[in-house]
Chains A and B, each alone.
Chain A
Amino acid sequence: MLSRKKRSGAVRSDQWVLVAPDILNESAQKPTNKTLFVKLRSPSTEKGVLFLFINSGEQICELKAFHEEYRSWFVGQTVQQDGRLLYATPMDPLFLVLYYLIKAYREQEKFQPLEQIVVDEEFPSCNMLLECPRVAESIHHVTEEKEISSKKFYKYSKEKTLAWLKKKVDQTVKVLKSSEICVGAGVQSANFIRTKQESDVKEEDYTCYAHGLISEYLPVDLKEELSKFLELPEPSSPAQEPSSKKRKFSDLPVEAEEDYTKFNSDSKHKKPNSKMTAAQKSLAKVDKSGMKNISSFFSPKSKSKAAK
């Protein structure tokens, strides 16, 4: 990985900080190679997003921005107001082609040459996908293929696609486990370092999480079909965090976090306290592994109770 800065003539946002694969560095040294940013349709949102085509599509990277509020960069002797950190990470271009394959299949269920399938008036650059060696290599995972007089024709295959996506999900699950990503339903801080693995996380949680992650690259219909194919339960909302979990520092009226004076004033409180210790001791011995996270009590199931 390397971080590099580029300049253009613009007054503002004339620099960005990018983390990209090493191959980009090699590509920069060979001026004959075509490396460029391309705006393509996101399969899931159908909006235009940027991709990086390195060496004429030898490697295709999606671009993500780490965007936290109130950040700026000091770059050398300059200040960059845009404090985002951009990541170019390799992705499978087949996801981008898949969108067009499904669309073409829906319009007319027939075999077509790829250059007739991958067409987009709004994002004409999508024809660059056809030049990607990886697309040619892997397109058989998601299509039926016919060859007539050395010309190849393709048709979207739902069965093959779902089988291919299941493999993707399995691969993702492996990575989720090895990277120790929290996939449980409880709301957890990404910064909190756990001393031991969560014991109550089921295999299904990993599959759900991986399915959600992969669906970021799939049209909505296919997302649902894949969910059924993987026999996942209906999506329930408690896994979703309440929209705003921002740390707030000073907006709320502040009370002392530990106000021991409340207990000091009243001597009655002292007695039960001393009695408690025995109970507390026994409580401490209880196996806590199966206990619920508090957020689970705020799920819609408990809504009826709360409404009362």
Chain B
Amino acid sequence: MDLEDFERDNSRNQLLVSSVPDVCRTEDCCLGIDEAGRGPVLGPMVYGICYFPVSRKKDLVDLKVADSKTLSESEREQLFEKLNAAPDYIGWAVHILSPNVISTSMQQRAKYNLNALSHDTAIGLIQYALDAGVQLTEVFVDTVGPAEKYQEKLKQRFPGLDVTVRPKADSLFPVVSAASICAKVARDRAVKGWKFVEDLGDIDTNYGSGYPNDPKTKEWLARYLDPVFGYPQFVRFSWSTAQTILQSRAAPVIWADDEDAAAGSTGKSSSQPVLSSYFSSQKEDCQPKRHRFFQERLLEPLSDL
């Protein structure tokens, strides 16, 4: 797993893939999907897939892959090396979603929420495997949101595949456990090797787990708050934890699409004309209006500096 490209520019997403084993192009394969780092306010979210021929399911059980949450970091690394050491039949791919991309997706004008982002990333990875020539027949997914809906969505998107979406799939299906190990290892490595693009001097990287309820994480967030810029790109701005601190302690920033800004000092009526106003003759303003040349160009006279 070569994270060099991602470390060079961690403001973009990065897809990392193993080579595709030859048997996977000829034999029916199963594929597992899992994610790591969905909850933390810090760092990337990683989606992982693992695939191998259906006939080799037993070999995975022998490798003793298990739900990544029950394993220590070093155990996960070891298991990942085992998976990696079997390139004759196991293939994997991980998609690292930069915290910057998560922030900008969730906060753009046309909101793109985390579930949609997750679903699309999962779909993208299945499509990647298909495009790479993997003979997929079965897909196992750990659910995001209601399992039935998600399963329906995936089945509609991939009618040729047998899709199973289950909560806790990572402990039920070895192929999902393997995928979760790939994702978790990638996430750990990405966080560990995180290069801050911002000039923060000697930054204290003791930020705890990165989960919003971790007191260490909270303290770190409070410490590295810049009143103007907020946080380094390592932080997911869209998390309510980050937003609460920004709202209470950073300089207020008003965007054109902020709802309270639109209804702000002038009130709603001024920004939204009533339909009937178009049909009545224009009210004669007592004070002369600026000529439309200036109005259209938003030019105002200057009475003070």
Query: At the interface, yes or no: A276 with Cβ under 8 Å from chain B?
Result: no
Over the window 1-45 of chain A, the binary record of Cβ atoms lying under 8 Å from chain B Cβ atoms (1 yes, 0 no) is: 000000000000000100000000000000000000101001011
Contact A248 B278 (CB under 8 A): no
Interchain CA distance A249-B272 in the complex, whole Å: 12
Query: At the interface, yes or no: A164 with Cβ under 8 Å from chain B?
Result: no
Contact A244 B273 (CB under 8 A): yes
Contact B290 A216 (CB under 8 A): yes
Over the window 172-187 of chain B, the binary record of Cβ atoms lying under 8 Å from chain A Cβ atoms (1 yes, 0 no) is: 0000000000000000
Contact A70 B255 (CB under 8 A): yes
Q: Which of A47-55, A100-108, A132-140, A198-206 contacts B (4 or more CB under 8 A)?
A: A47-55
Query: At the interface, yes or no: A242 with Cβ under 8 Å from chain B?
Result: yes
Smallest beta-carbon distance A89→chain B, Å: 10
Q: State which residues 224-266 of B face A: CB under 8 Å.
A: 228, 251, 254-257, 259, 261-262
Tell me which residues across on chain A come within 8 A of B291, comparing CB atoms: 212-213, 215-216
Query: At the interface, yes or no: A156 with Cβ under 8 Å from chain B?
Result: no
Contact B282 A240 (CB under 8 A): yes
Smallest beta-carbon distance A299→chain B, Å: 9
Q: Give the residue of A37, A239, A244 whose beta carbon is less than 8 angstroms from that of B272.
A: A244
Q: Give the residue of B273, B279, B303 whose beta carbon is less than 8 angstroms from that of A243.
A: B273
Tell me which residues across on chain A come within 8 A of B273, comparing CB atoms: 242-244
Q: Which of A59-67, A109-117, A143-151, A281-289 contacts B (4 or more CB under 8 A)?
A: A59-67
Query: At the interface, yes or no: A229 with Cβ under 8 Å from chain B?
Result: no
Smallest beta-carbon distance A185→chain B, Å: 11
> Given A16-B305, A50-B304, A240-B292, are A68 and B279 also a contact pair (CB < 8 Å)?
no
Q: Which of A255-263, A264-272, A300-308 contacts B (4 or more CB under 8 A)?
A: A300-308
Interchain CA distance A45-B272 in the complex, whole Å: 28
- Chain B count of residues within 8 A CB distance of the other chain: 40
Tell me which residues across on chain A come within 8 A of B255, comparing CB atoms: 70
Contact A303 B280 (CB under 8 A): yes
Over the window 70-105 of chain A, the binary record of Cβ atoms lying under 8 Å from chain B Cβ atoms (1 yes, 0 no) is: 100000000100000011000000000000000000
Contact A63 B261 (CB under 8 A): no
Residues of A that sit less than 8 Å from B by CB: 16, 37, 39, 42, 44-45, 47-50, 62-70, 79, 86-87, 181, 190, 209, 212-213, 215-216, 220, 237, 239-244, 246, 248-251, 298, 300, 302-303, 306-307
Contacts A63-B301, A212-B292, A244-B271 supplied; 12 other A-B pairs, CB < 8 Å: A42-B301, A49-B301, A49-B303, A65-B299, A68-B298, A69-B256, A70-B254, A86-B302, A190-B296, A209-B293, A251-B272, A306-B279
